[in-house]
Structure 1
């Protein structure tokens, strides 16, 4: 037996996978054999690296990449890679080993490496299995010939150009897709989502894979006219009634198969009771129009029982359904970054700027700012710089993360604003960070 056979037998147990002999003894012998080594074979030289098709970035851009990888503002590496990929060029060959090794440890930088690493990067990845992840990243191949990442990229681009054609393409190969691919493909239908997608997504609720069913249910929740939304509205009305200034709630007593099919997960997370969990999921997936009242009015009503659960469900509903009015109202009740995604970038920044002005510097403020789309404009930038000056006078040791966020997310073209805003050292660090990013974009242009 191979080592993998022995390991899998040990994992499932010899009751389920009978084994002739003493498994531990055989494993010990195999361990000794593997440690003893083997006679080296005469290695065949690898095929030469193929010629590159894309031009490399310029010398100054390459030098800045080396500085970033060397530790100078190293959190900018994903932004540099994204900006470089947008130019249609590749990274220089001499940085590939270090970049591929960094990608092995940090999944967040892999998204653009399939193109940026060029043909030589893929040649290196084929020689070193620890860099093999690169072979799964998009390369520009087509739907029929590409790997999973290429096919996701193709479907995403087609969906943006022609939503119906993308859905029809996916339907044509749906039965042949792997469960993991099906779940990721369904999520891509969020772009351009409409009622024309409803029949396909409704059928996906019967998929064997839970992640596929959840992804389909999440999208159907965003369609008030979907059959799922209708079923959830009916369940919500059975649980909640609004009369005068009071909201009466009776949580469901069970989670049946029909609820599970519609995305209600029966087993609650640790610390939440079953009925509370089922109630939250039903209300989160019920169309927000079922309440027939603005959220600002509902939040003022008395909820004698299940108050926290109902409001937590409304937060989740605003996030799932991307409803700006509800996101705005629920942000006032529970300011979490996820709610900002339902708002256009300018309004995200306006809400965040108000939050920065009204709240002390703490972990919640950092999380809210982390959810605001880059690049921050002058309003939010000014609010954050003012906060930095204020905190620098009393708690300068508490500014580390706020200074980094400001430097990473403020529009780099605003570096003169930061330079002239205040001479205090943390603000000047932000200004230097912004100038660094402004020069980075100029070199890649």
Structure 2
């Protein structure tokens, strides 16, 4: 056929319809190819762990289908604690989700079982399930892989993680430095202080800011001592009044420590973020005192300091002045729920109430659950259009053991 087409049918007659046969041959070649011979794929190993129960599997399918999607990490953690695995039919979707979302990978090794590892060995997109972080990950990996490696090392050996970051710090890009310094918050200790202090001279403002925030959490750091000296020079207590005398200017040393000039008075809130231990009175008494001219600035700085230093006593007191979710992070779960329950009882349903509840750890106990359920019943009559997020939070976070309580409000 090919030779006839080259010289023409006049010189080489063709017994048939050349153009039709050529079209058929082209289609045939495009449609398929000879199968190649290859070794048979070894079957997946037998599973040792049993699968989760039918109802748990049904909930997982609903969650992954978009219903209560935010519950996926909690479901995975709860299932991993049982030592069971997910059903086979969920594996591809779950492994694909893990490819896109690194935050859920921690439990996938247990939950996907031998079949999951078998699949990962045959699909490069899921190979993350088989990877073990090594020194090459830090030297050759992409930004996300390097952050994951540093985070894991920091969790197991904080000192080794810091030393690893120090060894390459000068070569890191400004963007990477800003990302990496945030990871030092996990396992933060005075051993990190010299490295963090050096970051105050970094060219990137985000790096300097993050380093200053971490140093503020270390009462013994040089930054904390400098801030304490500035606070003592500017603030004094006279009877029932806190007297503030702001410095005349924001000098270079203050700017290095993260104080940014704020016209017209030339001082930033960070100037007040000294160690809270410098105050010789409990926060409840200090809050009751008058602070002429600087009341809002000083109290806002106390809030920031309580958040950064994770001080439970100050967080508890400042929540009454400025109820924000960040303050709850400094408190144990039971106290978070106690404060949130009181706030829900007194506060109308708005974005602030939703944000406060969003900052409370899950498995809400009876006091908070009751306050939220009563709020739902009340608002259902007056503002039914405004209930969506509150109902969703209640469904996600009320302790499942309190189902009879929730049912009694239906």
> Do the two structures share a fold, i.e. TM-score over 0.5?
yes
TM-score between both structures, scaled by the size of structure 1: 0.68
CA drift of 1:189 comes to 2.5
Match of 1:316 among 304, 310, 313: 304
CA drift of 1:261 comes to 2.0
Quote the residue 1:70 is aligned against.
65
Match of 2:349 among 332, 341, 361: 361
Residues in 2 aligned to 1:295 and 1:395: alpha-carbon distance in whole angstroms? 37
CA drift of 1:230 comes to 1.1
Residues in 2 aligned to 1:367 and 1:202: alpha-carbon distance in whole angstroms? 33
Which segment is superposed worse, 353-362 or 175-184? 175-184
* Structure 1 residues 218-248: Cα deviation after superposition (integer angstroms, max 9, x where no partner): 1110111110011111222333232222222
Pairing 1:262–2:232 present: no
Residues in 2 aligned to 1:207 and 1:138: alpha-carbon distance in whole angstroms? 36
Quote the residue 1:216 is aligned against.
211
Quote the residue 1:231 is aligned against.
226
Number of aligned residue pairs: 361
Q: State whether residues 276 and 309 of structure 1, in contact with CA within 8 Å, keep that contact through their aligned partners in structure 2.
A: no
Quote the residue 1:349 is aligned against.
337
Quote the residue 1:251 is aligned against.
246
Match of 1:111 among 103, 107, 115: 103
Quote the residue 1:402 is aligned against.
390
Quote the residue 2:6 is aligned against.
none
Q: State whether residues 254 and 275 of structure 1, in contact with CA within 8 Å, keep that contact through their aligned partners in structure 2.
A: no
Residues in 2 aligned to 1:210 and 1:376: alpha-carbon distance in whole angstroms? 39
What does 1:46-445 correspond to in 2, within 5 Å?
60=54, 63-80=58-75, 96=92, 100=96, 109-112=101-104, 116=108, 140-146=131-137, 147=141, 148-266=143-261, 273-274=262-263, 278-284=267-273, 286-419=274-407, 421-422=408-409, 424=410
Alpha-carbon spacing, 1:70–1:228, altered in 2? closer, same or farther (3 Å): same
Residues in 1 aligned to 2:366 and 2:293: alpha-carbon distance in whole angstroms? 44
CA drift of 1:85 comes to 7.0
Structure 1 unaligned segments of length 5 or more: list them: 1-46, 127-133, 267-272, 425-445
Residues in 2 aligned to 1:88 and 1:393: alpha-carbon distance in whole angstroms? 44
Residues in 1 aligned to 2:311 and 2:400: alpha-carbon distance in whole angstroms? 31
* Structure 1 residues 145-194: Cα deviation after superposition (integer angstroms, max 9, x where no partner): 22344444444344344433433343334334443343333323223322
Residues in 2 aligned to 1:68 and 1:82: alpha-carbon distance in whole angstroms? 14
1:376 match: secondary structure: coil
Alpha-carbon spacing, 1:295–1:212, altered in 2? closer, same or farther (3 Å): same
2:218 match: secondary structure: coil
Which segment is superposed worse, 367-376 or 155-164? 155-164
Structure 2 unaligned segments of length 5 or more: list them: 1-37
Residues in 1 aligned to 2:168 and 2:130: alpha-carbon distance in whole angstroms? 21
Q: State whether residues 259 and 269 of structure 2, in contact with CA within 8 Å, keep that contact through their aligned partners in structure 1.
A: no
CA drift of 1:383 comes to 2.1
Residues in 1 aligned to 2:122 and 2:103: alpha-carbon distance in whole angstroms? 18
* Structure 1 residues 75-127: Cα deviation after superposition (integer angstroms, max 9, x where no partner): 434544555677696886877579858987xxxx442259859676798786x
Which segment is superposed worse, 381-390 or 341-350? 381-390
Residues in 2 aligned to 1:99 and 1:159: alpha-carbon distance in whole angstroms? 25
2:136 match: secondary structure: coil
* Structure 1 residues 287-340: Cα deviation after superposition (integer angstroms, max 9, x where no partner): 112232221111111111121111111111111111111111110111111110
- Report the aligned-residue RMSD: 3.9
